[in-house]
Chain A
Amino acid sequence: MADVITYRQAVAEGIAREMRRDPAVVCLGEDIGAAGGVFRTTAGLHEEFGPGRVWDTPISEQAIVGAAMGAAMTGMRPVAEIMFSDFLACCWDYLANEIPKVRYMTGGQVTVPLVVRTANGGGLGFGAQHSQATENWALTVPGLKIAAPATPADVTGMMAAAIRSDDPVVFFEHKGLFATKGPPAPPDHVVELGHAAVVREGDDVTLVALASMVPLALTAAERLAEEGIDAEVIDLRCLVPLDAMTVLGSLAKTSRLVTVEENPYQGGWGGTLVSIVADEGFGLLDAPVRRVAAACVPLPFADVLEAEVIPSVDKVVAKVRDLTAY
Chain B
Amino acid sequence: MTGATRTPDGRETAELLALYEEMAVIRRTEKAAHDLFLSGLVKGTTHLAAGHEAVAVGAGAALRDDDYVFATYRGHHHALARGATPEECLAELMSRASGLCGAKGGSMHLTKASGNMLGSYAIVGAHLPMAVGAAWSARLRGTRQIAVAFFGDGATNIGAFHEALNLAAVWKLPVLFVCENNLYMEYTPIADVTAVANPAADRAPAYGIPGETVDGNDVVAVREAVARLAGRARAGDGPGLLEARTYRHYGHSRADPATYRPAEEVERWLKHDPLDVARGRLAGLGVPAETVTAADARAEAVVQAAVEAAKKAPAPDPREALTDVWADGGARWRT
Contacts and interface: CB of A to CB of B under 8 A. Distances in A.
A277 to B, nearest CB: 12
B129 A66 contact: yes
Given A71-B133, A71-B140, A242-B334, A108 B329 contact: yes
Contacts of B170: 58
Interface string B121-139: 1010011111111111110
B166 A74 contact: no
B324 A67 contact: no
Interface stretch (A39-47, A81-89, A90-98, A172-180): A90-98
B247 to A, nearest CB: 29
B31 to A, nearest CB: 25
B101 interface: yes
A72 B133 contact: yes
Contacts of A166: 326-328
Nearest to A100: B325
Contacts of B70: 70
A66 B324 CA distance: 21
A245 B335 contact: yes
Contacts of B15: none
A27 B93 CA distance: 38
A263 B76 CA distance: 43
Contact of B130 (A67, A111, A246): A67
Interface in B58-111: 68, 70, 99-106, 109, 111
A70 B147 contact: yes
A243 B335 contact: yes
Nearest to A59: B163
Contact of A62 (B129, B131, B325): B129
Contacts of B138: 74
* Residues of B contacting A: mostly: mixed
B126 A55 contact: no
A106 B130 contact: no
A276 interface: yes
A143 interface: yes
A72 B334 CA distance: 25
B105 A105 contact: yes
Nearest to B128: A66
B118 interface: yes
Nearest to B68: A74
B249 to A, nearest CB: 27
B167 A26 contact: no
Interface string B15-40: 00000000000000000000000000
A67 B327 contact: no
20 contacts: A55-B171, A63-B132, A63-B167, A66-B160, A68-B133, A69-B133, A70-B130, A73-B134, A93-B160, A97-B126, A104-B104, A107-B99, A107-B100, A107-B101, A108-B102, A108-B329, A167-B326, A241-B333, A242-B334, A244-B335
Given A63-B132, A106-B111, A167-B326, A74 B104 contact: no
Given A58-B167, A60-B163, A104-B325, A142 B104 contact: no
B119 to A, nearest CB: 6
B331 interface: yes
Interface string A1-45: 000000000000000000000000010000000000000000000
B136 A71 contact: yes
Interface string A155-169: 000000000011100
Given A70-B132, A109-B111, A110-B118, 12 more contacts: A62-B129, A70-B130, A70-B137, A74-B133, A76-B141, A104-B104, A104-B325, A105-B106, A110-B119, A166-B326, A240-B334, A241-B335
Nearest to A240: B333
B332 interface: yes
A67 B123 CA distance: 16
- Chain A: interface residue count, which band? 35 or more
Contacts of A67: 129-130, 132-133, 136, 164, 167
Interface of A: 26, 52, 55, 57-58, 60, 62-63, 65-76, 78, 93-94, 97-98, 100, 102-111, 113, 142-143, 165-167, 194, 240-246, 276
Contact of B133 (A52, A66, A243): A66
Nearest 5 pairs of A and B residues by beta carbon: A66-B129, A70-B133, A166-B327, A107-B102, A67-B133
A18 B326 CA distance: 22
A75 B141 contact: yes
A75 B114 CA distance: 14
B159 interface: yes
B230 to A, nearest CB: 17
B113 interface: yes
Given A57-B167, A60-B167, A93-B126, A76 B335 contact: no
A256 B82 CA distance: 58
Interface string B278-290: 0000000000000
A55 B126 CA distance: 21
B335 A63 contact: no
Given A69-B130, A110-B118, A62 B140 contact: no
B201 to A, nearest CB: 21
Interface in B139-164: 140-141, 147, 159-160, 163-164
Contacts of B135: 70
A21 to B, nearest CB: 17
B118 A98 contact: no
B141 to A, nearest CB: 6
A104 B322 CA distance: 9
Nearest to A68: B133
Contacts of B113: 106, 109-110
B5 interface: no
A94 to B, nearest CB: 7
